[in-house]
Structure 1
Amino acid sequence: MAVIGDTLAARAPAAVFAAIGPGRQAGTERLFARRDMRRASTPRDASILLVAGDIPSEASEALARVHDQIPPPRATVQWQGEDPDRIVARVMETLKDLRVSATGEENRLPDAPPNEWKGIGPHGQGGKGMMGGTPYGRPMAMTGPDIRDGLQLDRYSARIGPFAPMLPPGLTLEVTLQGDVICDVSIDSPPFAQPADADAPDLCLARVLRLLGLDRAADRVLGGKRPGALWVQGAISRGLGRIDGTDMRDRVAAWRKGEAAPLGPFDLPRLLIGAEWSEAMLILASLPPSALIRAARAPEAA
């Protein structure tokens, strides 16, 4: 049985978490449409960290945090744009080495709280951190008026990015939530620059399909096939992500036809505030990378 299990494990697609740098979004997304690669949705689900391209120095600490969240044994594979067959071979060879040796890379960051906190009591309790504050770097949820009806509800703030797979590579958001509704959002860092091919209609459509949980359909789109209009449109709420008189449904319809969906200027935080978390992620996925990068950089230029 052990031999059979080892054989099946060797044939399974490698679970890889991708940290995508500038200029590497399109190539990485096409890489994970292959049957022999599986993109892990969280670092905890991966064995290998694929670093695609050169990560800017300001994101190096975030990359180290992602690395340390991958359970050992783990390894890192750097991809600088080599042929996809070669990088897949390297990933599979690295995975094989991990299974044989059961050793991997050590933590890159010290095993210590990012914001150490201790109360004033004899057992570390009490003090300002018990009500508000940021104990261990996690702000306590405090109440505030609900943006829909004014009722007082808990608000929780968190920083998301720059390698969260549901966000464009490089984008870091400071988000305040009431339940699953975004009541405030600001841009900590814009997405990494990407070439024009990241706006390709098939890639844009595949991003939306993956967020809808339709990975097989996304792979087929990247293989040149088009999904049925009715079931794709039916999974998207009308009016979601409305910009310039068009919404997400309109953009998806254009991509299904192989057409671009250009967008004019828009206010990114205003587009997300009031949306539920899942809706906000779909809105972001429905924005071509070039338009999203311009919108995220607009506050810097102002």
Structure 2
Amino acid sequence: MAVFVAIGEGMRDRLERLFNDARFVRAASPRHAAIFLIAGRMRLEDREDLRRLHDQMPHPRVTLLWNAEVGEALGDAEVFTGSTLEVDIEASEAGRSDDAVRDRLEKLWQELASGERSSEPDLLHDEPPNSWEGIGPHGQGGQGMMGGTPYGRPMAMTSDDLRDGLALDLYTARFGPFLPMFPPGLLLEMTLQGDVIQSVKVVRPPLSQAGGNDVPAALLRLARLLDVLGLPVLGQRARLAAVGGATSVPLEKLSRAIHWAGATLAIPRGLGAVEGYGDTRTRFANLVSVANGFSPAMWPGLTRSAHLSSILPGLEWSEAMLVLNSFDDETLSTLAAIVEGADEDRDGHDHDSGHMHHDHGGPHDHDRHQGHGGRGSHLGNDYHGRHGGHA
């Protein structure tokens, strides 16, 4: 059964273990899912995004709230209240709670497929993203050849590319906060030309997670990087190694498989370099060393100037996904701090520029970006379309 997940505070690692069960497929888009699983506490400002994701799911559909505090944002969605954050409970209790969630998801699917449970109605009004009817000389919403929102869709404007100065269309959009390849809760407003990022603004920082810097947490980070590199089978082996048990693989075999796959060489040198933290290849190699029996690295403190708004511009989309997933949770939260004096969060499309803007409450429109007009290689181009194995 296909499940789309929105991960809140402290639940990412448990969700990754949940999907080790072969009964479930983690959908990369809400349009491919029948069940919407919302796990963990959410911020008040995330609730509108959850409703938008819900309404993009095809019928029949059902929602399960697992330790999720969303008020009445999801209507009459089913609630499952199990154990709290994993750091506060015994592993055996967490395992029993996770098994109960799996069983409840399977039951919901059976009820939905048999018609015993009705599909959930829309939560939002069906309205265009921009007012356009009656505007312009022909009522099409445009203002001549340039500007305006013809038929509700803002027009793209050209600007010089950061790398070679060629004039290309700019596309400004918000990505997150529940995009599968993003850290949970992270909402970025980015301007792209093709698949090259021109500018980045942090709108909401990532939600705090329960993972630490121990071996299982390092293996789960390694799994997410392997997914983005287009190696989901190795990523799944890393997840099984993090969980342990009879189905896990010896760590030395995992390390050897990663080496022969050439994963490290696929990461460009200098990518996402941060003073004191090396580059993405260095951070990846450190995670691989965990599979060889070494302890996870302890990094020094960040410099005051280190921020995603200065690290990501100039990178292709696939490179940026590698960089985002190469940091531990604490470091990423520092890199994604809200910059003082930045524009306040706005949910509309009234940005003061001539660029094309669109609002992304989740991964619902990203399938249009993963393979479009960039002029470089996609490290994990097939990942977005066929794999939803991490948060």
Question: What TM-score, normalized to structure 1?
Answer: 0.88
Change (3 A) 1:172 1:124: same
> What is the identity, as a one-letter code, of the residue corresponding to 2:165?
G
Q: How big is each residue's C-alpha offset from its partner over 1:158-197, in whole Å with a ceiling of 9 and x where there is no partner? A: 1111111111111111111111110111111111112243
Between the two proteins, what is the percent identity of the paired residues? Answer: 48
Q: How big is each residue's C-alpha offset from its partner over 1:240-286, in whole Å with a ceiling of 9 and x where there is no partner? A: 11122611111111112223343642221111000001111111111
Change (3 A) 1:192 1:74: same
Change (3 A) 1:293 1:152: same
1:149 aligns with 2:164: yes
Matches within 5 A, 1:50-65: 50-65=37-52
1:186 aligns with 2:201: yes
Q: 2:378 is matched with which residue? A: none
- TM-superposed deviation, 1:35: 2.1
Q: Which structure ranks higher in relative contact order (CA pairs < 8 Å, sequence separation ≥ 6)?
A: 2
- TM-superposed deviation, 1:198: 7.5
> 2:265 aligned to 234, 257, 273, which one?
234
Q: Distance in 2 between matches of 1:68 and 1:195?
A: 29
Matches within 5 A, 1:195-274: 195-197=210-212, 200-224=217-241, 225=251, 226-227=254-255, 228-231=258-261, 232-244=263-275, 246-258=278-290, 259-261=295-297, 262=299, 264-265=301-302, 266-274=306-314
Q: 1:11 is matched with which residue? A: none
Q: 1:29 is matched with which residue? A: 16
Q: Distance in 2 between matches of 1:34 and 1:301?
A: 45
Change (3 A) 1:53 1:143: same
Secondary structure of the structure 1 residue equivalent to 2:226: helix
Q: Distance in 1 between matches of 2:308 and 2:152?
A: 26
8 Å contact from structure 2 (residues 187, 203) kept in 1 = yes
Change (3 A) 1:217 1:263: farther
Unaligned ranges ≥5, structure 1: 1-13
Q: Distance in 2 between matches of 1:142 and 1:119?
A: 23
Secondary structure of the structure 2 residue equivalent to 1:157: strand
Secondary structure of the structure 2 residue equivalent to 1:234: helix
Change (3 A) 1:50 1:126: closer
Q: Distance in 1 between matches of 2:144 and 2:57?
A: 30
Change (3 A) 1:138 1:167: farther
8 Å contact from structure 1 (residues 115, 135) kept in 2 = no
Q: Distance in 2 between matches of 1:79 and 1:111?
A: 28
> 1:112 aligned to 127, 134, 137, which one?
127
Q: Distance in 1 between matches of 2:152 and 2:174?
A: 11
> What is the identity, as a one-letter code, of the residue corresponding to 2:270?
G
CA RMSD of superposed structures (Å): 2.3
Change (3 A) 1:136 1:240: farther
1:71 aligns with 2:58: yes
Q: How big is each residue's C-alpha offset from its partner over 1:58-116, in whole Å with a ceiling of 9 and x where there is no partner? A: 11000000111111100001112551111111111111111100731011111111322
Where has structure 1 moved over 4 Å in runs of 4 or more? Answer: 134-138
> 1:275 aligned to 312, 315, 321, which one?
315
Q: Distance in 2 between matches of 1:28 and 1:301?
A: 35
> What is the identity, as a one-letter code, of the residue corresponding to 2:105?
V
Please, which moves more after superposition, 198-207 or 143-152? 198-207
Q: Distance in 2 between matches of 1:136 and 1:127?
A: 8
Change (3 A) 1:198 1:207: farther
Q: Distance in 2 between matches of 1:263 and 1:283?
A: 18
Change (3 A) 1:31 1:300: farther
Secondary structure of the structure 2 residue equivalent to 1:65: helix
Please, which moves more after superposition, 79-88 or 282-291? 79-88
Q: Distance in 2 between matches of 1:39 and 1:213?
A: 16
Unaligned ranges ≥5, structure 2: 68-81, 84-96, 242-250, 343-391
More helix by share: 1
Secondary structure of the structure 1 residue equivalent to 2:172: strand
